[in-house]
């Protein structure tokens, strides 16, 4: 089968429907998944995309024709899918393109929780099987059975916090799920909480009539930021399309960087489990390791990507991990990422401490000056990385993921994109905002040549 090889990415399969990914290809991917894993059972869920029903039906047909039974968990968020994979202990395929635009679709694939298929481990094997169509003849035809884990999922996430503690301070919360998959489950979970919820776009709608699915893009969160200010809310929450990423807006209506949220959540969870390990990615602010160490925890750095983070967390028994991009992972949730769980912990933190989110951020913003991620289009990415290593040869240089260069008062990481001709820069100074901006411009001048 001729298939665009670029849809087989580092952490998942993703492409434009129907040119790069369609029912015929989905059918073959289903057969390849069963063949590669030798699976007897496969969990399958999907998000709200308009191409979802067709892709779902095709991949299920491929799985069952290859001899495996399907547990159909219906239309769910990705953290509900991870929960189902944990409960049943089976491999799974989630039909989603996460936060990509509505014309995309794809698959997030679990080998066995918390281990996922990645480019290095499984995804390229699937590509080769799809291209060759070298599938063994199955001995049986699989069946399809519906499964519903919603009640168990709701009970699980609520068990992670002290719901009673929220009664001491009735929080006003604005939540924007962007017509993605989080709305229905968020309503169900939050009904159990003594809070005042203002919901934006909670109904799943694959036509995306209101805004895009990636809250990292300022235009997709602008309305939420304004609404938090207009309502005098304590906090605003945003979720990406499939619900595995989480973002927050403070009481000033300001977007909170993933670095600072990782630092705040990591330190809070350390109170619950002292001296434990926390993972953070190579892009993160020093606020994360500094805060974890100050509170008696053990910070561990890891390369970007959920397949790598989950595996390392499980190996280390880490309590928590955070990525700058808005993924937050929890030992108590089988090392999986969830959008809903960090929202619950933040509400519990604010209620118990009787503090404003902006107060927690004040001390971080006064010490850590971060650039945020800056993308540059380049022709020779490896050449640019080599130029940076040469220019800053007197620094501490690490190559965990891209290149990380550290001095006493500033540091940066530069990584190449897995999917585009881009270089991504994250830089920080602990001197001043002006120092950060000067260093940022100096590094960008080298990157952009």
In this structure, what CATH number is given to the domain that contains residue 423?
3.30.310.50
Considering the domain architecture, whether residues 202 and 93 belong to the same structural domain is answered as: no
Q: Which of 98, 118, 285, 338 is catalytic?
A: 98
Name 121's Cβ contacts closer than 8 Å, sequence gap at least 6: 111, 307
Nearest to residue 59, comparing CAs of 114, 10, 106, 122?
A: 106
With beta carbons less than 8 A apart as the criterion, state whether 126 and 32 touch.
yes
77 is annotated as an active-site residue? no
With beta carbons less than 8 A apart as the criterion, state whether 50 and 101 touch.
no
In this structure, what CATH number is given to the domain that contains residue 18?
3.40.120.10
The predicted pLDDT at position 123 comes to 97
pLDDT per position as a tens digit, 133-172:
999 999 999 999 999 999 999 999 999 999 999 999 999 9
Task: Answer positive or negative: Cα dihedral of 344, 98, 305, 113.
Answer: positive
Considering the domain architecture, whether residues 82 and 108 belong to the same structural domain is answered as: yes
With beta carbons less than 8 A apart as the criterion, state whether 201 and 179 touch.
yes
Mean pLDDT score, 379-408: 96
Distance CA(426)–CA(413), nearest Å, equals 5
With beta carbons less than 8 A apart as the criterion, state whether 117 and 310 touch.
no
pLDDT per position as a tens digit, 233-290:
999 999 999 999 999 999 999 999 999 999 999 999 999 999 999 999 999 999 999 9
Structure tokens at 433: 């905002």
With beta carbons less than 8 A apart as the criterion, state whether 125 and 118 touch.
no
Distance CA(21)–CA(267), nearest Å, equals 42
In a domain, 166, yes or no: no
Considering the domain architecture, whether residues 134 and 194 belong to the same structural domain is answered as: no
Q: Are strands 298-302 and 320-322 parallel, antiparallel or unpaired?
A: unpaired
Nearest to residue 183, comparing CAs of 198, 208, 204?
A: 204
Q: Residue 421: pLDDT above 90?
A: no
Number of domains in the chain: 3
pLDDT per position as a tens digit, 167-191:
999 999 999 999 999 999 999 999 9
Query: 116 pLDDT band (50/70/90 cuts)?
Result: very high
The predicted pLDDT at position 418 comes to 72
* Domain span including residue 283: 153-161+171-365
Query: In degrees rounded to 5, what are phi and psi of residue 397?
Result: -120, 130
Task: Tell which of 309, 338, 365 closes a domain.
Answer: 365
Considering the domain architecture, whether residues 251 and 317 belong to the same structural domain is answered as: yes
């Amino acid at each position: 089968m001729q298939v665009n090889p670029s849809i087989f990415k580092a952490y998942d399969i993703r492409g434009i429907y129907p040119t790069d990914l369609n029912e015929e290809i989905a059918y073959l991917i289903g057969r390849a998944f069963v063949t590669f894993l030798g699976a007897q059972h496969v969990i399958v869920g999907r998000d709200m995309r308009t191409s979802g029903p067709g892709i779902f039906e095709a991949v299920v047909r491929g799985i069952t024709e290859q001899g495996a039974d399907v547990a159909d968990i219906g239309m769910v968020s990705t953290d509900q899918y991870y929960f189902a994979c944990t409960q049943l202990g089976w491999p799974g395929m989630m039909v989603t393109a996460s936060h990509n635009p509505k014309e995309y679709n794809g698959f997030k694939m679990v080998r066995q929780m918390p281990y996922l298929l990645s480019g290095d481990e499984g995804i390229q094997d699937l590509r080769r099987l799809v291209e060759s169509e070298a599938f063994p003849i199955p001995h049986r035809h699989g069946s399809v059975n519906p499964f519903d884990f919603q009640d168990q999922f709701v009970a699980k996430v609520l068990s992670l916090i002290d719901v009673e503690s929220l009664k001491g301070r009735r929080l006003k919360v604005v939540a924007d799920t962007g017509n993605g998959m989080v709305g229905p489950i968020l309503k169900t979970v939050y009904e159990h909480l003594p809070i005042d919820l203002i919901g934006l776009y909670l109904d799943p709608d694959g036509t995306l009539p209101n805004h895009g699915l990636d809250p990292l893009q300022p235009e997709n969160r602008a309305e939420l930021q304004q609404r938090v200010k207009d309502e005098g809310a304590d906090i605003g929450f945003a979720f990406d399309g499939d619900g595995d990423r989480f973002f927050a807006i403070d009481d000033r209506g300001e977007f909170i960087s993933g670095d600072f949220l990782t630092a705040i959540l990591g330190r809070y969870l350390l109170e619950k489990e002292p001296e434990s390990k926390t993972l953070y990615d190579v892009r993160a602010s020093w606020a994360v390791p500094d805060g974890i160490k100050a509170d008696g925890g053990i910070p561990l750095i890891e390369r970007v990507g959920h397949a790598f983070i989950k595996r390392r967390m499980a190996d280390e028994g880490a309590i928590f991990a955070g990525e700058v991009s808005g993924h937050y992972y929890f030992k108590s949730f089988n090392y999986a990422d969830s959008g809903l769980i960090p929202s619950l912990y933040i509400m519990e933190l604010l209620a118990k401490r009787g503090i404003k989110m902006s107060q927690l951020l004040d001390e971080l913003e006064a010490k850590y000056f971060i650039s945020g991620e800056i993308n540059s289009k380049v022709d020779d990415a490896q050449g640019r990385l080599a130029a940076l290593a040469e220019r800053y040869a007197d620094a501490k240089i690490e190559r965990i993921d891209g290149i990380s260069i550290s001095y006493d008062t500033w540091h940066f990481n530069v990584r190449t994109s897995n999917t585009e001709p881009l270089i991504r820069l994250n830089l920080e100074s602990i001197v001043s905002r002006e120092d950060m901006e000067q260093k940022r411009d100096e590094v960008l001048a080298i990157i952009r040549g």
